[in-house]
Amino acid sequence: MTGIDEYEALRAARPELFRNLPDGIEILTDPAAVAAAGGVLYRDRYLTLLRDPVRFPDGREGTYIRSIGTTAEPGCVVLPLLDGEVVLIEHFRHATRSWHWELPRGFGTGGLDDPANAAKELREEIGAALRELIPLGVLHPDTGLLGDRVLLYAARIDGMGEPARGEGIRSALTVPFAEAEAMVADGRITDAFTMAALLRARLAGLAN
């Protein structure tokens, strides 16, 4: 299947990704325009990279690149709370070639509902069983490039096991909520998902 064929199949399967809104940037459907843009440029089990043919609000035509999750299920970020304190993991990220303090998170998993996906991430990354899951809303991590939406949660847990060292997690740290926020303020936490979840948790009244 060519990138153009994949693009047309994706448009049929997930039309919400191709909706056009008044006064927005219009996705063109003309086959010649789609072929010139390239359609699906790359696809694996996690992400799909598209180049859409578009018409801008001023009438210009061109192309726009975006990345979407390969599955329709949203990803999730989970803020674990152990005895009222925040559990952070020290995770090596290939994209930045750096260690980051952050929260457990992952792509959406086909066949799992949203709470089950959150529970899976806790179990896999810190060996924790979920006691209570608290929804904190939706995050769009980069509206200029990513078409994904990510669900934010807080989760009360009773304990945890070993971190998933095979995934590049070398340690876990439990800190008071105020210390986690101090780590944001002084630059020890730079991960946007983690900062967003901490903010949503504070606004939800979960900070001690």
- Bridge pairing between strands 75-82 and 61-69: unpaired
CA distances from 138 to 114, 150, 207 (A): 12, 6, 19
Instruction: Please tell me the pTM assigned to this model.
Output: 0.92
> What is the widest separation between alpha-carbon atoms in the chain?
59
CA-to-CA distance for 17 and 66, rounded, in angstroms?
Answer: 11
Q: What pLDDT sits at residue 1? A: 66
25-60 in b/e form (b: 16+ CB < 10 A) is ebbbeeeebbeebbbbeebeeebbbbbbbbbeeeee
Structural domains for the chain:
3-69 (no CATH), 75-203 (3.90.79.10)
Handedness of CA 140, 142, 143, 146 (dihedral sign): negative
What is the mean pLDDT of each successive set of 10 residues along the chain, which is 208 residues long?
A: 89 96 96 94 95 97 96 95 97 97 94 93 95 97 94 97 95 97 98 98 93
Residue type, 157: I
Q: How far is CA 196 from CA 31, 94, 120, in A?
A: 40, 21, 21
Q: At what angle do helices 192-203 and 177-185 cross, to 10 degrees?
A: 130
The DSSP result for 119-155, as a single string, is HHHHHHHH---EEEEEEEEEE-S-TTTB---EEEEEE
- pLDDT of amino acid 110: 85
The residues that bridge with 146 in the sheet, in sequence order, are 67
CB 145 within 8 A of CB 174: no
